[in-house]
Amino acid sequence: MAVSDLTFEVREGEIVSIIGPNGAGKTTLFNLITGIYRPTSGRVTFAGAEITGCRRFQAARLGIGRTFQATTIFKEATLLDNLIVAQSLHTRTGLLGAIARTRGARLEEGRVRQKALEAISFVGLAGEEAKRAGSLTEEAQKRLSIAMVLATNPSLVLLDEPTGGVNLEEVGGLMELIRGMRQRGITVCLIEHKMRMVMAISDRIIVLNYGRNIAEGTPAEVAADKEVIRAYLGSRRAS
């Protein structure tokens, strides 16, 4: 079983990190929350309502945003077009309205564009709106994928290895971006392997091993947990 007997919560306004060895069930957990997989047992609740087995678009409409390990962007499109597409679940203009260019369609188009520009600016890519997304560095593509999530007005963002493929000099900027999200009232739950980042940024850490929660607490509490050290931190304490 990928995930078994796992119970945890993410509280509003927190930054919570989920760590564990490769194959511990971390990404599967995100897939269960966002409706990519349906759990064989158990419940998922969000903001007091049960969302077990909801569809991916339903999770997004409820306010759950999510990035993936492999950066998911439209590489041949511009940054601005990527952000406009990301908001499509939240637009109301139908096909006929868009074709006829009704007043409502024009107003909504303006709002979508403004929201896209705000998200691009927030992640530090202002002035790059017309650039082709595939021409960005890996770190900038990570920022773009986060901007695409933020443009949907999420209250909870799930980040799957946001610093994967990013060099150490660039990690600090992504940490500040995540802190900035929290300052805007967004709750963040992230999967991450860079332990210095995890220890520096997290309010709480949840440790998975073989799909089970083996520890949970503050960075100091988790770093001192003997089972965590054996399962995960032992060979990587200095990484």
Residue 131 amino acid letter: K
Is the separation of the CB atoms in 20 and 209 below 8 Å?
A: yes
Report whether pLDDT(31) > 90: yes
Average pLDDT over residues 31-60: 92
Q: How far apart are CA 60 and CA 43, in angstroms?
A: 18
As beta bridge partners, residue 78 has 132
Residues 79-126: pLDDT tens digits? Answer: 999 998 888 765 554 444 444 455 555 667 888 889 999 999 999 999
Q: What pLDDT does 95 receive?
A: 40
What is residue 182's predicted lDDT score, i.e. its pLDDT? 96
Q: Is 206 helix (H, G, I), strand (E, B) or coil?
A: strand
In DSSP terms, which residues pair with 15 in a beta bridge?
A: 188
Check residue 97 and give its pLDDT. Answer: 43
Residues above pLDDT 90, as percent of the chain: 68
State pLDDT tens for residues 133-177: 999 999 999 999 999 999 989 999 999 999 998 988 899 999 999
Q: Which two tokens stand for residue 221?
A: 């509490």
CB 238 within 8 A of CB 224: no
Instruction: Kindly report, residue by residue over 220-239, the tens digit of the pLDDT.
Output: 999 999 888 887 655 544 34
pTM of structure: 0.88
User: Residue 67: pLDDT above 80?
Assistant: yes
CA distance 38 to 34: 9
Domains in the chain and their CATH numbers? 1-63+154-239 (3.40.50.300), 73-137 (no CATH)
